[in-house]
Chain A
Amino acid sequence: MAKRLKVANPARCIGCYSCMMACARTWYDTISLKNSRIDIQTKGGIETPYAQIVCHACIDPPCMRACPLGALTKRKGGGVNLNEEICDGCGNCIEACIMGAIHLDAEKKAVICKHCGVCPKFCPHDVLEMIEVEDSGEIKVTDTGPVEDTNPVSPTASHKELYGEKESGEEK
């Protein structure tokens, strides 16, 4: 089943950067915010809501088209796979991504989301979610039956009740 990352509830973000730290430490053996594939940004300090800049898992990714070496190939479920061996750090993909979701690491390799699913596990407010999509990356439409009220899970539940049961974050 193909999956991709989605910013499901952007307004719930508290700006803790737990997702960024998790992303960076999962895919690099260093500690940083810099190597995170997801970027939490302030727009006017913390007085205004945070912005979450993530790869949109494009169905027809412009970054892939922009890569002159073919280092980026279509990923099942949208977005791209990066062949690091081929990437020479030219930065064309950065230009092509109007989301601003790509940058280079210290080795001059593209830092680009793999939709691996680690960051939602370190989001304490369900801002980030993994959703099921068609292999093409199209949103999957399934018959869900009767629609239920999806208002906040439970206004009286404690944080522990809401999150205590969730599967632990990483990391084998």
Chain B
Amino acid sequence: MTTEQYAIPGLTNVLYIDLTSQSYHIEERPDLYEKYLGGIGIATNLMLEEYKEGTGPLDPEMPLILSTGPLSGVYPTCTKTVALFRSPLNGELGESYAGGHLAMSMRYSGYETIVIKGASRYPVYVAVHDDKVTFRDASSIWHLSSAIDVGKILREVEPGAGRRSIIRIGPAGEKGITYASVNVDTYRHFGRLGLGTVFGAKKLKALLISGNREIKSPEHKAYRKTVSMLYDTIVKTGLTEKYHNLGTSENILVLNELKGLPTRNLQEASFEGAETISGEVFADKYLIRRVSCAGCPIGCVHIAMLKRQFSKAHEYETLNISYDFELIYALGSNLGVADPEAVLELIDACEKAGVDIISMGVVLAWATEMQQRGKISTQETIGLKLSWGDKASYLRAIELVVQAPNEFYTALGKGVDYASKKYGGEEFAVQLGGLEIPGYHTGLGNTLGLSVSSRHSHLDNAGYAADQAAFNRPIPDEKIVEYIIEEEDRRSVLNCMVACLFARNVYTYENIILALKSIGIERTEEELKELGKDIFRKKHELKKKFGFRFENLTLPKRFFETASTTGMLEEERVRKAIEMYREKRGV
């Protein structure tokens, strides 16, 4: 069966938006969708079509692509949108996923994929309401200090409440911090690799999408049955329990116990303050509510309430801040911050600035160690003394990185790889592939996984999970390599759907096949597996065009100086595993 029988309108279309000429058009691409279904499969192929050799990440001609999948807005937890771009942080493949209301809004506005090209001469925001696309002057919201406020304003001037998504940048994106994020509907983000910087370079302050279409359901009885089954699996079994409960921050104590929680710029892998910044503490003391991405019954977005007194007359302000494991690692353990309220304030500062928190945390940790080692002085930091656990200095440092008042802070705003090449300290700049690492130091699986992953993310191949298994019972390196390859291919298929990876064990091949079939798309397990492999090849082809070479991967010494969950790691062993990976992958 082909997509012709799949009656969801928009499945085969691409909306092209040109910011230079403020125009748009729609193309039908059944050829692409029939082969690649949606999401990362479509985005990768469109990028290969669009990318002209030599175009820089922030050049106007460089496209950015947003894509959802056939299950988006149709089945529970299929709530993600993939963004594909060329990363201004490492010059490589920029690939990032966000939840919120975006996927559902795209689905019901009738667009499966959006390609944004060109650059505006002045700040604009783009509003897509069903089949109407408008370009509006955003000069009056360009210099706002908070990305949160951008949403507040646009909510008032644009229609579509409750059925729309507003994605926007903060000051970091405007200023060209290369790891600026795009805030999605508050609390969700295209966090990694600098999509916000690309928005900023295009003078695109925000993109609003709303839609309320009704979609044909070719096999309605089967569809209803399948939704019911998937809903029950998500809500009534233990498969997603972690996210129903403490959420990702459950991992703080787990990784601390396993000695795999990067601490003080990965000088250690466990944190004496873990007990006070644990998911348990955040839940017991600060968690006030949980929210969902539109279409997901889990509700994993954990919102903490921080009540701050600002005068002796018992006056208080209240901040609602979302937290997750990676944020607590990046601004907590990795900066030696053991005070949960300090962690929340630091998260809030980054949220408003619109900056990738993992990258910011690693950059500040590196700067702290640099200063402690006397490699930089207060001259570079404009008087700031950075020290572990010092919230006030870190809050000021975040401001300074975004404002970039001198060469040093400008360098910090280009990421730890760039800054360490300029100021030294590369051996303890904890990046892999030019991307600041997430909160795992579990051993070979993790370090290998982050190195070879197409976006240098633990979410591509869950290398840390291989290490956790190896911690219990030693696993030969070759098996770890094989685990990573299999996981990458499986996740590539999920990223075509585009399902939330928290529900990866719900959307097994079997259930993906059933979900597709119930909306009229026939696929076999073999076909899906081949799709996963195909996507790897296509992504690798794209990465090569962007200049990626396995040979150029640097492995900072710090990874081999601090014992991991599975013990001391040797560089030689990682290099060998990378070779093994390349051989098995044929690249």
Which residues of A pack against B, CB within 8 Å? 11, 14-18, 21-22, 25-26, 28-35, 39-47, 49-50, 105-106, 122, 124-125, 158-160, 163-166, 168-171
Contact = CB atoms under 8 A, between A and B. Distances in A.
Contacts of A122: 231, 297
B551 to A, nearest CB: 45
B236 A163 contact: yes
Given A25-B227, A165-B236, 16 more contacts: A11-B289, A14-B290, A16-B296, A17-B292, A26-B224, A28-B214, A30-B214, A42-B161, A45-B151, A46-B101, A49-B289, A122-B297, A164-B236, A169-B232, A170-B224, A171-B225
Contacts of B290: 14
B108 A33 contact: yes
Contacts, number: 131
A32 B238 contact: no
A21 B213 contact: no
A163 B232 CA distance: 9
Contact of A158 (B225, B241, B295, B298): B241
The 3 closest A-B pairs by CB, nearest first: A14-B299, A159-B244, A16-B292
Contact of B231 (A18, A30, A34): A18
A122 to B, nearest CB: 6
B155 A44 contact: yes
B118 interface: no
Contacts of A21: 227, 295
13 contacts: A14-B292, A15-B291, A22-B227, A29-B220, A32-B108, A34-B108, A40-B162, A45-B151, A46-B291, A47-B320, A124-B299, A160-B236, A170-B228
B238 to A, nearest CB: 5
Contacts of B235: 124, 159, 163
A41 B228 CA distance: 23
B163 interface: yes
Nearest to A53: B162
A17 B104 contact: yes
B324 to A, nearest CB: 15
Interface string B148-183: 100110010000011100100000000000000000
Interface string B279-303: 0000000000111111111110100
Given A31-B217, A40-B162, A171-B225, A45 B232 contact: no
Contact of B223 (A18, A25, A44): A25
Interface of B: 8, 74, 76, 100-101, 104, 108, 148, 151-152, 155, 161-163, 166, 185-187, 212-217, 220, 223-225, 227-228, 231-232, 235-238, 241, 244-245, 289-299, 301, 320
A171 B295 CA distance: 19
Given A46-B187, A159-B241, A34 B212 contact: yes
B185 A18 contact: no
Given A25-B220, A171-B224, A30 B289 contact: no
Given A17-B104, A18-B76, A159-B245, A32 B214 contact: yes
Contact of A169 (B161, B213, B231, B291): B231
Contacts of A39: 162
B272 to A, nearest CB: 28
B186 A46 contact: yes
A39 to B, nearest CB: 7
Contact of B299 (A43, A125, A166): A125
Given A30-B216, A34-B213, A168-B232, A45 B295 contact: no
Contacts of B295: 16-18, 21
Give the residue among B162, B214, B238 with the most A Cβ atoms within 10 A: B162
A30 B155 CA distance: 29
B153 to A, nearest CB: 11
B6 to A, nearest CB: 12
A42 to B, nearest CB: 5
B245 A31 contact: no
B217 A29 contact: yes
A16 B294 contact: yes
Contact of A166 (B101, B214, B236): B236
Contacts of B214: 28, 30-32, 34-35, 105-106
A163 B237 CA distance: 8
B310 to A, nearest CB: 20
A21 to B, nearest CB: 7
B482 to A, nearest CB: 32
Contact of B292 (A15, A158, A168): A15
A30 B215 contact: yes
Given A31-B215, A158-B245, A42 B162 contact: yes
B93 to A, nearest CB: 30
Contacts of A42: 161-162
A30 B161 CA distance: 22
A160 B244 CA distance: 9
Nearest to B212: A34
Contacts of B241: 158-160
A135 B96 CA distance: 54
Contacts of A49: 289
Contact of A171 (B187, B228, B297): B228
Contacts of B223: 25, 31
A44 B151 CA distance: 9
Contacts of A159: 235, 241, 244-245
